[in-house]
Amino acid sequence: MRKPWSTGKYSYATNGHILVRVLRRDEIPEREDAPPLYNVSHLFFKEPRTWLPAPVVSPQKPKECELCGGTGSVFYCPECDGEGDLEFENKYSRYTVTCDTCEGSRVVSKVVGAGDDGSKKRCDSCAGLGSRQDHKSVPIGDLYFSDVYLSWIAELPGAEIGLYCLGNPARFRFDGGEGLLMPRCKDDEDRWV
């Protein structure tokens, strides 16, 4: 959502789970590195099986990211490449051990021998934001969606959710634009369909 782009008659923004499109805005340029739309653009022309008002939900407040301590960037452990553990194998067995360098935390306070010139990387746990927000599944019809994204959509004027079937994004529309929203699995809060 941080780097919108324009293509044809529309301007778009996405975070990988929610895609918004509005009529093209002159201040939003085209980008060569824009995400491809060929897998989802047809859904803007397919009528959903039902339209429902966007529910008003209140997501939990963001929490400081535990991995980066709220800074948005970290020094990933050079020993385990930021994995927290190491795998070893020989021709008879394979085993995993906790990394002694970072003690399984995935990060170190500073990379030995490295300067402050880019050794620090964007925290992948919070996407560089410094905070994380837990997502809870909210049912709409027979599908489930993130409470965080539903709260954003509900703030849009006249917002409605259009349901397709499981495995396809839902469509939403509002006064001034429309978008697509990925459903979630009911049982696994961190897994996206």
Structural tokens at position 177: 């634009």
pLDDT value at residue 9: 94
Mean pLDDT lowest among 41-45, 56-60, 149-153, 189-193: 189-193
Indicate if the pLDDT at residue 65 is higher than 70.
yes
Indicate if the pLDDT at residue 191 is higher than 60.
no
Indicate if the pLDDT at residue 188 is higher than 60.
no
CA distance 103 to 86: 11
Q: How many helices (H) and strands (E) does the chain have?
A: 1, 16
| Over residues 92-113, mean pLDDT | 83
Give this prediction's pTM.
0.65
pLDDT value at residue 186: 59
Reported as a single tens digit per residue, the pLDDT across 20-42 is 999 999 999 999 888 888 888 88
pLDDT value at residue 185: 61
Burial state string for 30-59 with b = 16 or more CB within 10 A and e = fewer than 16: eeeeeeebeebeebeeeebeeeeebbebeb
Collapsing DSSP states into helix, strand and coil, what is residue 41?
Answer: helix
Structural tokens at position 95: 């085993």
Reported as a single tens digit per residue, the pLDDT across 133-168 is 878 888 888 888 888 889 889 989 999 999 887 667
**Mean pLDDT score across all residues of the chain:** 84
